[in-house]
């Protein structure tokens, strides 16, 4: 009998992801990272996704007000081991300290594009045509 696998994260993965997000936020707020790129940036961590074995944490970040997100994400990845060490006290209950990988969060840009499409004249025309039929 095969076990059905789901792509949805487990409750444990979600809980640990939120704990890691909180620990990362604390490290960034304390400004303990000695990197000029990170020092001058305000960074928002929107989500942390954990691997099923909880050994890899992928943090989706949005540098607020910054034009070059790639440079900030690269700086965070350069300092990932240092950040991992600073998260230790907040995550001392974990058996393994997860490796952290940083990715640019593009969800806000995607939401903006969808919003623009919904407001476009072509879509508005179709919406009004459908409402008139009802």
The residues spanned by each domain of the chain are: 11-105
| Cα–Cα distance, 85 to 123 (Å, whole number) | 50
pTM of the model: 0.74
Mind listing the pLDDT tens digit for each residue in 57-114? 999 998 887 778 889 999 999 999 999 999 988 888 888 899 999 999 877 677 777 7
Answer CATH for 11-105 from 3.30.2420.10, 3.90.950.20, 3.40.50.300, 3.30.300.20: 3.30.300.20
The pLDDT of residue 42: 87
Residue that the structure tokens 């994260």 belong to: 9
Question: How far apart (Å, rounded) are the C-alpha atoms in residues 27 and 89?
Answer: 11
- Tell me the percentage of the chain whose pLDDT exceeds 70: 90
pLDDT of residue 102: 94
Model confidence over 12-21: pLDDT tens digits? 999 999 999 9
């Amino acid at each position: 009998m095969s076990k059905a696998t789901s792509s949805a994260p487990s409750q444990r993965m979600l809980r640990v992801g939120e704990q890691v997000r909180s620990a990362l936020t604390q490290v960034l707020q304390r400004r303990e990272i000695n990197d000029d790129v990170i020092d001058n940036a305000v960074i928002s961590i929107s989500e942390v996704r954990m691997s099923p074995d909880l050994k890899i944490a992928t943090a989706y970040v949005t540098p607020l007000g910054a034009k070059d997100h790639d440079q900030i994400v690269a700086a965070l990845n350069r300092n990932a081991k240092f950040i991992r060490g600073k998260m230790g006290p907040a995550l001392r209950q974990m058996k393994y300290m997860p490796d952290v990988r940083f990715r640019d969060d593009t969800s806000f840009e995607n939401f903006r594009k969808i919003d623009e499409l919904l407001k476009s004249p072509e879509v508005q025309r179709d919406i009004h045509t459908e409402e008139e039929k009802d």
